[in-house]
Structure 1
């Protein structure tokens, strides 16, 4: 079971506090003998669980994993089964407190254990992001890498990130492709762009324009897509016709800003000449215009005229890409060898995420010199050296060398390692210059909170949504989900993408605006486009339904193809993520809803309390026309789950699933299941009742510690790249406590994680000493 769920069920939901350990050999064993051993003893071992061997505190501590499960089912009232006599609530509470106090005492007295993380390679996302930030390229070099394996729900777990021969080949090919794009040993000549006056704007019929196009007011202009910033030369060929002694004054503007002024005396086509202007242009869309500054008409109706033949834009003068100039930047006053050392030392330091050693840099410098000596150009030699860095294990793996590998004591990782843990957690990429600078001054640990807030404001923090949230919520499965087209004709690829994007934007706002992590239950905001608005029946940005009798004023129409922020209706029916189309669809079957899948999803992904796997050979629900016409899905499932072996788990899952039955398999609201009315009411295992999804959300939000604990457990797993163990319970408890003190703000959760011993410390290979009670 989930670590924090076990802890919270004992301390939070049950309202219990740890007590000093009583005599388990007496009181604990007596409880087991009276309520448990008949089904889980020496003679009868239901579910392969035997508890008769647990007669002392020491015996409990030897099998904590089993006891986590035992305590969970007792705390939730799942055991003893409903048909068996139940112990008085007071007796159960005392037993839970007794066993919990034993574990709590063991954890408190145990030496801190931050655990160990298997050395891990960069996964596909981390590789692409790191290359982007290291080199500055604008393509995904990891696109054809094999898919990463999944562990504990995530694709960044060290124990499963293996390297295959195919991946090694792709690494070599990617390094070559990256450096070939980033560095151009033989830059091309500056391109020239010619535009005849008949093709300039304002647009006109090209066939009716003479060689020299006249203007008497305004301008002629052309738009250019500039891919490289740099020095450009703009020229236009023209002559002027005047009506007096004053010349025609002309200005050249770039995006409306004047960059040059020209005076043209009277002339004719034979006197036409080029007028040249030097420009510094930044990449992007640029509009260059030639403007007639002093238009005038005389009494006879004759006007000053500027007659333009063409535009010519030449450049940039330096056609090397920005990446080339950035990577090969060096102090030109130094000897060439020192320039090479500067270039390679800077690159290797960033690529290895820690200062490259003099020996590492020297090997690279010698390689460049040897390559040059063989007849290659200097830039080619640098290309090959950088390829060596990009295929080095020091780049491909997140290496955290330990100066005390055999120490049993927990000790801090160094500041460069902390910088990498922080950046790969929040950005799935390498540290930026600010993190490197703080690590170099040994000041990162002292500035963690401010750095977390800075990093969460950075657009790169969207990777927490794309990678962490999408995997945690299992929304990657929506990519392949295919509802029955006859039953759900509205579903198509565009709607699929909109569903996913809504959830992404919801969490991006949570990260960016530092909202409460509890908003996943009832956050009254979302971002939708017209396609989702049609599914939801939402009319405008105030969240008014088309059927709302007295709509809230001030709402704007929702565009079909772009997303806008929407304040959700006060009734709470669409608040939070449980009723977002992405969640409702991914937890459905192709032809109908699935209360079991939906209920299990809430338990597992939101509360962190997954039910046990179903028993073997459970028959499927009948789906033939006769069965479907016999009753609503709820009625048929209630008949189906009469099997006593299934009843407990189904009662727990189905109640939450049925609460969402008003939403069909693609999230559209409905009141009937075929010909039958939908009943969304239900009762939770603890006896609390609800009548609709809104009331269920209210009940779920009361489980603040459980929800925060699930967030913490999932996010800590993602941040560390390993599964959590029993010794992480105290860490999780501190993280949730700190998050609660921070008002459950998203940044509070992230800050508590990066402050934790598990994140900032390590231990050697030796297992920690067991606590002595």
Structure 2
């Protein structure tokens, strides 16, 4: 579709004009809506001409407009953006455009106020790569990524968890089969190895060196209570360990030598050593220890005095264990009650496993099939553990594990119904954790208490480290920052750009958004804030020297700042006059919206419109060349772009994008601040289509922050899309209105948004049969 000039009254950054309650003269469909269509639209969009394959001629009343609501919503978007009517057609006056928008919106609003709630329908969808990896991690305590060879997930509505695009290919099915086998090979060992035994002989124990005799006939002599004889060991598994030592004691008055057995400096046991050189004894200690590094030691407790001499002679120290060499996951998965029959133990193990794997209580039939599979393996003279392992492997390739199935016992209901408590638990956990529900969620669902506990559960889950998935999976996709992995600045023009800098850019954004979410700050702080996170590499890139935001070479520095050094990120307070603060001026965003050789005001402006304001421009016309292809364009980048948008097909969209993009021209293609480009001083000023002027990013941020409704509503739309796994539709508007209103009561905080989304009808309910078709 051709791009048109903006009409004179179009507002780029304003809250939607249409609200019939705000005017004394109510909008009238016949007078304000259809008359506008007849005068400005019908010459192209009638039954005969059908420009863009669209005819508005049949829709002559409210019922027809509502039947084609998506079409009319698009008409509103085109008129409000200035893309329609075309610049070569008669242009409506400001009051005509406002009246038209009000009349059509009035049709929508009247219906929405009286229509029954429509929670929409979510396509049954499989777990995406991230959800699969996290679910296997939490189900089996897997310590590796089984999805490395999985094909990439398709993207829909900007996210990779959208049901409509999550297909299952033959290749992916093969990967599922292989992954199920590999994760269980690590989680369950049919024939666990014997406990590891590590022994250290006296000459190799510590402390090394020192005065006096240390070794006698291969025994280490210990007389100093402050220097126990010790040696290090390590284990990747926790469990019960056996610490042993061969020793004997020597005493000038024949009294026993008292010793202590220590692990990592902690005394576990005291005992008297009565053995002799001819018959040394082996002393031992059993202890439950976590996985990690150990230092086992023998210390003397009563070395004597000037008259009595005592010493302990140590031949070797050893550590055996853990005594149970099964992986930790196996110990948990196969935990049984002693004394029960093997069949009863199978039922217990598989019921517990299937409840977590299927995210709901398994049916009797499902349990019986698993039990029969285990017994079939045992009948072939294989170990019981092998049968359990195969039954679990079968569960991991079942659609009940791979897909997020939401069972419905009211499939024939014609009205919306509440989600089953277990389906609600899964929606909640995959929204906030991108993983399976934990035991607390499942237990509440079993008791029918989850719906009444949603706010408390949201607060608990947001405090859990697993909620960082909201940053990794939601925020980075919303901001389109995965592209930074493939962004490569021209090394001749930007020799400072490196993989290390690229990773630092992304880490700053992750830590910043994580802090906004974790600290329950206002979502508006994403636009402008007084803090960020930097390491030494990024601090030099930004020209910021210390944690108080003082710049290198700054004459009057704010006190208390610590120099930013090393690879570790630290929180940095930004000074009010700084050019940084918020997402828009982060190097990650500025880089992914640039070209390898130069900045791109168009990409940066479009990013603001799409990701921040939710008012994306239409695609560029296919017959308009890229800026660098226009050989007739000369001058600075700003001048070349002004020549570029002299083309009427380009002017409409560029009038919206370019001013926003030029606000960030002081930042080069890698986000580094500069004062000149191509030998010319940079002009970062701009004029918006409604006449508002600004100078640089700080003034633009203030203009954007005044558009609270657009920013908040856009973020709600993005997060609701991610939470539901489907695109937001017109029937979601009432729910979104309530979410935005709820946020306004709590300073637009992140947690208020999340709680309101979780409590909304689209999240908690399912559509009735035939509804919304």
The equivalent of 1:136 in structure 2 is 141
Worse overlay, 240-249 or 428-437: 240-249
C-alpha separation in 1, matches of 2:552 and 2:632: 35
Q: Does structure 1 residue 652 correspond to structure 2 residue 656?
A: yes
Q: Secondary structure at 1:163's aligned position in 2?
A: coil
Match of 1:643 among 647, 651, 669: 647
The equivalent of 2:230 in structure 1 is 221
Residue 326 to residue 28, structure 1, CA distance change in 2 (3 Å): same
Q: Does structure 1 residue 563 correspond to structure 2 residue 572?
A: no
The equivalent of 1:687 in structure 2 is 691
How many correspondences in the alignment?
756
Q: Does structure 1 residue 446 correspond to structure 2 residue 487?
A: no
Residue 706 to residue 22, structure 1, CA distance change in 2 (3 Å): closer
C-alpha separation in 1, matches of 2:95 and 2:398: 62
Deviations 1:87-138 (CA, angstroms, capped at 9, x unpaired)? 5544433332222111111222222211111111111111111111112221
Q: Alpha-carbon deviation of 1:70? A: 3.0
Q: Does structure 1 residue 109 correspond to structure 2 residue 109?
A: no
Q: Alpha-carbon deviation of 1:204? A: 5.7
Match of 1:12 among 5, 12, 15: 15
Q: Secondary structure at 2:260's aligned position in 1?
A: strand
Q: Does structure 1 residue 355 correspond to structure 2 residue 364?
A: no
Q: Alpha-carbon deviation of 1:367? A: 1.8
Q: Does structure 1 residue 723 correspond to structure 2 residue 727?
A: yes
The equivalent of 2:284 in structure 1 is 276
C-alpha separation in 1, matches of 2:488 and 2:672: 16
Contact 2:227/2:299 (8 A) holds in 1 = yes
Match of 2:591 among 582, 585, 596: 585
Deviations 1:188-239 (CA, angstroms, capped at 9, x unpaired)? 111111223444444569xx98544445342333333222222111123345
Residue 692 to residue 43, structure 1, CA distance change in 2 (3 Å): farther
The equivalent of 2:127 in structure 1 is 122
Q: Does structure 1 residue 754 correspond to structure 2 residue 762?
A: no
C-alpha separation in 2, matches of 1:593 and 1:294: 77
Q: Does structure 1 residue 290 correspond to structure 2 residue 295?
A: no
Q: Secondary structure at 2:527's aligned position in 1?
A: helix
Deviations 1:477-509 (CA, angstroms, capped at 9, x unpaired)? 111111111222222222222111111111211
Contact 1:10/1:100 (8 A) holds in 2 = no
Residue 303 to residue 493, structure 1, CA distance change in 2 (3 Å): farther
The equivalent of 1:5 in structure 2 is none
C-alpha separation in 1, matches of 2:463 and 2:12: 34
For 1:254-403, what aligned pairs fall within 5 Å after superposition? 254-264=263-273, 272-294=280-302, 298=306, 306-403=312-409
C-alpha separation in 1, matches of 2:14 and 2:664: 29
The equivalent of 2:551 in structure 1 is 545
The equivalent of 2:177 in structure 1 is 172
TM-score, normalised with respect to structure 2: 0.91
Q: Alpha-carbon deviation of 1:332? A: 1.8
TM-score, normalised with respect to structure 1: 0.91
Match of 1:251 among 244, 260, 267: 260
Q: Alpha-carbon deviation of 1:457? A: 0.7
Match of 1:608 among 589, 607, 614: 614
What are the ranges of 5 or more consecutive residues in structure 1 without an aligned counterpart? 1-7
Contact 1:198/1:204 (8 A) holds in 2 = no
Contact 1:114/1:757 (8 A) holds in 2 = yes
Q: Secondary structure at 1:12's aligned position in 2?
A: coil
The equivalent of 2:673 in structure 1 is 669
Q: Alpha-carbon deviation of 1:245? A: 6.4
C-alpha separation in 1, matches of 2:559 and 2:300: 49
Q: Alpha-carbon deviation of 1:263? A: 4.0
Worse overlay, 563-572 or 459-468: 563-572
C-alpha separation in 2, matches of 1:174 and 1:415: 29
Match of 2:741 among 737, 753, 762: 737
The equivalent of 1:184 in structure 2 is 189
Match of 1:236 among 231, 245, 264: 245
Q: Secondary structure at 2:270's aligned position in 1?
A: strand
- Give the RMSD, CA atoms, in angstroms: 2.9
The equivalent of 1:483 in structure 2 is 489
C-alpha separation in 2, matches of 1:569 and 1:649: 35
Q: Secondary structure at 2:516's aligned position in 1?
A: helix
Q: Secondary structure at 2:390's aligned position in 1?
A: helix
Match of 1:193 among 172, 190, 198: 198
